[in-house]
Amino acid sequence: MKNGVLRGVGLLILAAWLIASPARAAGWTDLTEEHWAYETMARAEALGVLGGLPDGTMAPEGTLSWGEYLTMLARTFYPEQYGSGERLPGTHWAFPAYEAALSAGVLCGGDFVTVNGATLGEPVTRRDAVTLALRVLEGEPLPAAEPAVADFQQLPASYQAFVARSYVLGLMTGYPDGTFRGSAVLSRAQGATLLLRTLDLSSGAVLEQETAEKDLAPAQTQTDSAQAHPVELRTLGENGAKRERLFGSAEKRRFTDQAEARTNMTEVTVPVWRLNESTGEKTAGEVTFMIHKALAADMTEIFTEIFNDPEQFPVKDIGGFRWTDGAKGEHNCGTAIDINWNENYQVYPNGTVGAGAYWRPGKDPWSIPAEGSVVRSFKAHGYSWGGDAWPTNKDYMHFSYMGV
């Protein structure tokens, strides 16, 4: 694969890589010299492999889509295949980049990498991104020693050799808590960094240790202590670390009023499978809902894991933040969501139904199985499931960060 793909790397691109200057990045309103990826994104922009958005921003923390990533790879490593492609009517704007990846052998029919011509607008995950980068460099890597990665065995087997090789090269490594988080999505800044590291290695350069150790993870902020307390934040139920993450204080448990709550909410859009009940066909889609801003990244990661799982659990509806005066639950805090509410009912010990109609896992495709990908992914991120969180009441639609 390496000899086949890298012959397509243009000499002008390689020459420009050696001299590219970050000066042009000054024109982007949201990318300053203080940003961790300032120089990298400026070089990518100068090389012409990553551009800004129409509103004058570079959106370094925006989610990188499959279309954007495949276009970046095509422009950099196999421009001839990319230039000969043609966008067909009704296809995604990045369809020529998708076809170029197939032509170059970076993608193949029946691939385990989860992208096709209809999903180019979906976010690209860390494990998929590093797989394609390594195919550009080396093709299919041989099995390597398992790296010291806390969640390595949680990776699907098809990705493990790629991730292990990535650690050897320093191409993409892990987070401070020792995890790789293969199903997490990339930001535009992270994608640009990965691409330029790939280009650096393809030209025979050796990554400097300082650069190699930057893990393509966003810098920790004061408003999100997920990296500071990785264990506590993924432990089921309420604790001080979670309260600090949500409310800025380990002593605070709820928002004072609706106005305070709303200032801490954000809208998040996640990938889901849609089910046509008449045909049984599943198609990729999206759902948008309101959630506490500190948990937005969790939601993206969790639903991406569910979307990528072979179960392909279908989602009809998601309910997040909603304010009810006097309510003690977590929807007031934006820290709970309900999934497919009608088919995953809330029921009291005496049989009285509080919401929804029934729960029939294995019979109704919308009902959430206790051992399925939805429950498994949410619990792995520290969210309790109402199906088994309490000894009496059952709320099968409900997932909550504080266990209420």
Q: Strand ranges (DSSP E) for 133-188?
A: none
Percent of the chain predicted with pLDDT > 70 = 85
* DSSP H or E stretch at residue 353: strand 353-359
pTM for the full predicted model = 0.51
164: tokens are 């292990």
Relative to beta strand 265-275, strand 353-359 is unpaired
Contacts of 132 (CB under 8 A, 6+ apart): 69, 70, 73, 101, 106, 107, 113
Backbone angles phi, psi at 3, to 5 degrees: -65, -35
| Segments of the chain with pLDDT less than 70 | 1-27, 54-55, 143, 203-230
Three-state SS for 120?
Answer: coil
User: CA-to-CA distance for 228 and 221, rounded, in angstroms?
Assistant: 10
pLDDT of residue 5: 56
* R_g over Cα of the chain: 22
Contact 142, 161 (CB under 8 A): yes
User: CA-to-CA distance for 146 and 158, rounded, in angstroms?
Assistant: 14
pLDDT of residue 209: 35
Distance of CA 152 to the CA centre of its chain: 17
Pick the closest to residue 127 from 74, 97, 164, 91 (CA basis). Answer: 164
pLDDT of residue 355: 94
With tokens 């170029």, the residue in question is 100
- Per-residue pLDDT tens for 59-86? 888 888 899 999 989 988 888 888 877 7
With 0-12 / 13-18 / 19 or more C-beta atoms within 10 angstroms meaning exposed / middle / buried, residue 395 is buried
Among the residues of 276-325, which ranges form H helices?
A: 296-308
